[in-house]
Amino acid sequence: MAICDWPKEERPREKLLERGAASLSDAELLAIFLRSGSRGRTAVDVGRDLLKRTGSLRGLLDLPPARLAQLPGMRSVNRRALVLGALELGKRYLATELKRGFSLDNPEPAARLLTAELRGEPREVFAVLFLDNKHRVIGFEKMFYGTVDGAAVYPREVVRRALEFNAASVIVGHNHPSGVAEPSQADRDVTDRLRRALELVDVRVLDHLVIGDGHWESFSRRGWV
């Protein structure tokens, strides 16, 4: 049965407009951007098949464009453009807090923007937010790149960039490609080294955020900084 023959309240587009996007399943949300199905299959059916093949919505959206184009149901240029464009729109929305002058006075906004920047990375990436004395953003950099289970962090380089930005404080963060946000002992050790190095130039480490899959952990909330 085609979607247009479904009860109005069950059609993905109408459901979204009347009950909000949160009421849609992942497959229904994908169907909004797929726009149409294939022979004998609705757009929702195609969405379910894509999720099954890739394991999850994240598994689908993290695929490189060339790999995405190989999936049944995603070979249309228009479809891929809509899905990838929607993904980028969401990333840019979440990253608006990176604008210079935005105040980060609690972990949530910093975690949102670090999630937008780091969550899809296949390897560990260590990033730094440079802040002024009112906790406003004056710079953001992905400074160190590693493997799937670690990244070497050099405190001297963080100190150098903090001085160049004339920062009063920093918030540091990194992702765990495994998806598990629980900080490791190595994470605690590097935070201590950074804190000691930055204290020598009167720059505070306000927080260290570990980004997982749909979850994050804050060192400041645990009393570790």
My answer on whether 75 and 126 are in the same domain is no
* Number of H-type helices and E-type strands within the chain: 9, 5
Residue 188: which domain range? 99-218
Closest CA to 157 of 179, 142, 146, 178: 142
The strand pairing partners of 41, in sequence order, are 38
My answer on whether 128 and 103 are in the same domain is yes
**Is the model's pLDDT at 210 over the cut of 70?**
yes
**Is the model's pLDDT at 120 over the cut of 90?**
no
My answer on whether 137 and 202 are in the same domain is yes
Secondary structure of 125-171 in the HEC alphabet? Answer: EEEEEEECCCCEEEEEEEEEECECCECCCCHHHHHHHHHHHCCCEEE
My answer on whether 139 and 204 are in the same domain is yes
Q: What confidence category does residue 112 fall into, taking pLDDT thresholds of 50, 70 and 90?
A: confident
CA–CA separation, 35 and 77 (whole Å): 13
**Is the model's pLDDT at 89 over the cut of 90?**
no
My answer on whether 89 and 112 are in the same domain is no
Domain end among 45, 71, 93: 93
**Residue with tokens 């059916």, as numbered in its chain:** 45
Q: Which two tokens stand for residue 45?
A: 């059916």
Domain end among 93, 119, 138: 93
Q: What digits encode the pLDDT tens for the residues 52-67?
A: 999 988 789 888 889 9
> Do the Cβ atoms of 152 and 146 come closer than 8 Å?
yes
**Residue with tokens 């920047």, as numbered in its chain:** 117
My answer on whether 140 and 56 are in the same domain is no
DSSP code string of 16-78: HHHH-GGGS-HHHHHHHHH---BTTB-HHHHHHHHHHHHSSHHHHHTS-HHHHTTSTT---HH
My answer on whether 83 and 188 are in the same domain is no
Q: Write down the pTM of the prediction.
A: 0.69
My answer on whether 76 and 106 are in the same domain is no
Q: What confidence category does residue 198 fall into, taking pLDDT thresholds of 50, 70 and 90?
A: very high
Is pLDDT larger for residue 2 or for residue 206? Answer: 206
